Structures are given as C-alpha cells and as structure tokens.
C-alpha cells in the first residue's frame, strides 16, 4: 500500500495579474502550471500546493481569468483577503506606484511578500519596504527572472567551468521596435512612456541589469548612463495621441568589481538584427560567448580567427563559422516558475532564498543612479547596500 501524500496548501494572494506579464508568466506559466503538475515536490511523499485568489480592480477581467484557468476565487477587495489567515503569501504585480502601500499592508498582517520589480519608485522607499518586512518578521522575495533563462544559465555554467579565463567585458543589447500606435497598434502599454506614471526604460531595465551583473559577473561599483526619448509622441490604448515624457532608450556603462566593464544598450526604438531580443556577449582571455534568451554560442581561444584590417577587399572571414552552439545539458523550466517554486519552498520549509527585497532595492538604486548620471552627464558611484541586511 502506497504511503499517503502530505500536501501543504499555501494560500497566495495575486494582486495585479490581469496585465500581460502577470497573466502569462506569473499566473499561467507559474502558479497554474505548478498546480497542473501536482504541486512542488519537497520529498517523495510531500508537496506544496499553491491556492491562488486573484485580486484586482476589474471584476470582469478577474472572472474571465478564473474561467480561463479553471480557478474559483477572485475579489476586488484587497483588505478582506489580507485579513484572511488562510493566505500566507501576498504577490504584487501592480504598476510600480501602487506597490509600496499594498506590500506594507500585507506585511503588517503577517503575509510573506513576493513581488515584481521595480519594488518601488525610489531607493529610499525600496529600502524602507525591505526593513519593514524584516521588522514584521515576514519573508520577502523579488522577481529576478533573467537569472533562470537558459541562455544566461549556460553563461553561468561556462564561468563555473573556467571557460572564459579572466572575464574582460560584457556587452548587452536589449530591445525592439515598439510601434507608435498611429497605424500599427503599440505592443506595450502607454504608461511605459509616461514619467508621471513611473514609466521609462531606465527604471524598467536597469533593475534587471543590476541582478544579472551582480549575480553573474561582479557587483556594480559605478554607472555612466545616457537616456533619450527618441519618439516624442505616441498613441494610447484609446486612440489618443499623447506626449512621451519618459525615456525610451538608455545607453549605460557599468564598472564592476574585479575590473570587468559592462555596457548595455536598452531601447524600444531599435530594429533587431541579432540572435534574440536580448543578447549578451562575454569576452575573456581564453574564450568568448554570445547568449540569447535560450541559446548560447562560444568561441575558444584556439578557434579565434586572426583578421587583418583591409577595407579595399571583401572580408575573407566568415566570422560566424568559428562559433559552436552550447548544447542543452540540463532541463530548463520557465524562468518565472523556477523562482516561484523556490519561494514556495522558502516559505514552507525555510530553504534559503537569496533574492529578498534588499536585492530589489539594489535594482531600484541602480535605476536611480542611472537617472542621476544622465542628469549630471557624469559617472556616479553605486554605494554598497549590504549594510542594511
């Protein structure tokens, strides 16, 4: 007779998952996928089973999501569900400006906190959220999804195996053309381009680059950043023309511990002629790699060609031929789902979870420093926030 499976039911408040990212990555590909796979296994006879309730301002959208994913519970009253002891985790994917107040309300009644980035609109508020959660004795986490993308995981494995030798530089290219909306509808929401609505690519993407750099290549010591609003007018979801007040492109250079130099171009006004929407090139003394979201290509020292500059003849070298594709050597699950499973294990069985709200505050800090650098047209030092741990 087989032993009975012990199930840890974990109530999860999911606030703000009616948006594209919240629906696709957090609800459908994370929580619903975990439920459909039978929960998160923590032993042969023990699993964690998330039990979500959807929270938002639009009852019709919430109802439609529940019907789509065969869920039962939704509400437009956050306070009611926060006061229900059954729910242990509060997840926030609202727009950034609404996040701090809701997170504090949830932490004050003992909910563990997991939220999207940026966790706040400024560094002081972000640090205050981290400290508040500590004082309330609740666990906290922030989404750091790109660390769990197959392409970046392959980069991490190469580093672990000494492939690069000494890493010299990292070059990131991120972005694509976001249509203005006059003839072809925009594929991103209009608030992204409004500073007054906490929009802007510096605020959005430098939070990502902070945890990618800190965790893979070296802690960020300083930043030089130039922002731009290349498209001055766009058309919103209602067909109304509006002035773009937030940056749609950012050109940033980072100095890392250990002497590594990283440069990231981030743009919603660029057309893609590269392997993926995000590519990272890592150059080292013994080898180089170029990774996209899923694939990674490498060139070792022994395979490096020796080009000669001569603009008067056709280039004799096919520079793509000397690169080899890194094979899939392990299973790669959805990046958001992987981190959700980690956080659920952290809450239920206290497994370590390094991506606390302090890491989220570091991301907000780098965005703030990037904006400061742009305003001053100067390099800006990035102070160590570990003192707050």
Q: What is the per-residue pLDDT for 2? A: 58
Q: What are the sequence ranges of the domains in the chain? A: 6-145+336-356, 146-328+364-381
CA atoms within 13 A on the CB side of 198: 14
Topology (CATH level 3) of domain 146-328+364-381: Dihydrodipicolinate Reductase; domain 2 (3.30.360)
Enumerate the β-bridge partners of residue 228. 249
Q: 6-145+336-356 has which fold?
A: Rossmann fold (3.40.50)
Which residues, listed in sequence order, are joined to residue 249 by a DSSP beta bridge?
228, 267
Q: Which residues are paired to 218 by β-bridges?
A: none
- Please provide the DSSP assignment of 177-218 as one string: BPP-SSSSPPSS-GGGG-GGGT--HHHHHHHHHHHHIIIII-
Give the Cβ contact number of residue 300 at 10 Å: 16
Task: Tell how strand 6-15 and strand 46-55 pair up.
Answer: parallel
Q: How confident is the model at residue 118, as a pLDDT?
A: 96
Cβ neighbors of 56 (< 8 A, separation 6 or more) are 15, 16, 17, 18, 62, 74, 76
Tokens representing 172?
């990131």
**What is the DSSP annotation of 3-28?**
PPPEEEEEEEEEESTTSHHIIIIIII
State the pTM of this model: 0.95
Each residue's pLDDT, cut to its tens digit, for the chain (389 residues) gives 457 899 999 999 999 999 889 999 999 999 999 999 999 999 999 999 999 999 999 999 999 999 999 999 999 999 999 999 999 999 999 989 999 999 999 999 999 999 999 999 999 999 999 999 999 999 999 999 999 999 999 999 999 999 999 999 999 999 999 999 999 999 999 999 999 999 999 999 999 999 999 999 999 999 999 999 999 999 999 999 999 999 999 999 999 999 999 999 999 999 999 999 999 999 999 999 999 999 999 999 999 999 999 999 999 999 999 999 999 999 999 999 999 999 999 999 999 999 999 999 999 999 999 999 999 999 999 999 999 98
């Amino acid at each position: 007779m087989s032993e009975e499976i012990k199930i840890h039911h974990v109530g999860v408040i999911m606030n703000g998952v009616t948006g594209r990212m919240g629906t696709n990555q957090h609800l459908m590909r994370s929580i619903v996928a975990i439920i459909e796979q039978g929960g998160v296994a923590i032993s042969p006879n023990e699993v964690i089973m998330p039990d979500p309730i959807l929270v938002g301002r639009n009852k019709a959208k919430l109802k439609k999501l529940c019907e789509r994913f065969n869920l039962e519970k939704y509400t437009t009253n956050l306070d009611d569900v926060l006061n229900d002891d059954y729910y242990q985790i509060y997840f926030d994917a609202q727009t950034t400006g609404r996040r701090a107040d809701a997170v504090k309300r949830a932490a004050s009644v003992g909910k563990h906190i997991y939220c999207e980035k940026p966790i706040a609109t400024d560094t002081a508020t972000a640090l205050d959220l981290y400290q508040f959660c500590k004082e309330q004795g609740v666990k906290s986490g922030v989404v750091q999804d790109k660390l769990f993308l197959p392409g970046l995981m392959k980069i991490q494995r190469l580093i672990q195996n000494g492939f690069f030798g000494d890493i010299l530089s990292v070059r990131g290219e991120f972005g694509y053309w976001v249509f203005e909306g006059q003839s072809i509808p925009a594929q991103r929401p209009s608030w992204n381009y409004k500073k007054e609505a906490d929009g802007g690519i510096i605020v959005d993407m430098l939070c990502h680059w902070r945890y990618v750099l800190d965790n893979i290549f070296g802690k960020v010591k300083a930043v030089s950043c130039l922002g731009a609003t290349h498209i001055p007018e766009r058309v919103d979801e209602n067909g109304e023309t509006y002035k773009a007040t937030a940056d749609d492109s950012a050109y940033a250079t980072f100095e890392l511990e250990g002497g590594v130099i990283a440069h990231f171009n981030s743009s919603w006004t660029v057309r893609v002629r590269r392997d993926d929407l995000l590519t990272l090139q890592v150059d080292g003394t013994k080898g180089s790699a170029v990774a996209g979201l899923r694939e990674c290509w490498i060139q070792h020292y022994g395979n490096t060609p020796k080009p000669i500059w001569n603009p008067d003849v056709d280039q004799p070298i096919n520079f793509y031929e000397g690169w080899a594709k890194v094979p899939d050597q392990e299973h790669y699950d959805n990046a958001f789902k992987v981190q959700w499973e980690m956080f659920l294990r952290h809450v239920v069985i206290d497994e370590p979870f390094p991506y606390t709200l302090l890491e989220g505050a570091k991301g907000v800090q780098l965005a703030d420093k990037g904006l400061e650098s742009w305003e001053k047209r100067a390099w800006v030092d990035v102070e160590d926030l570990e003192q707050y741990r």
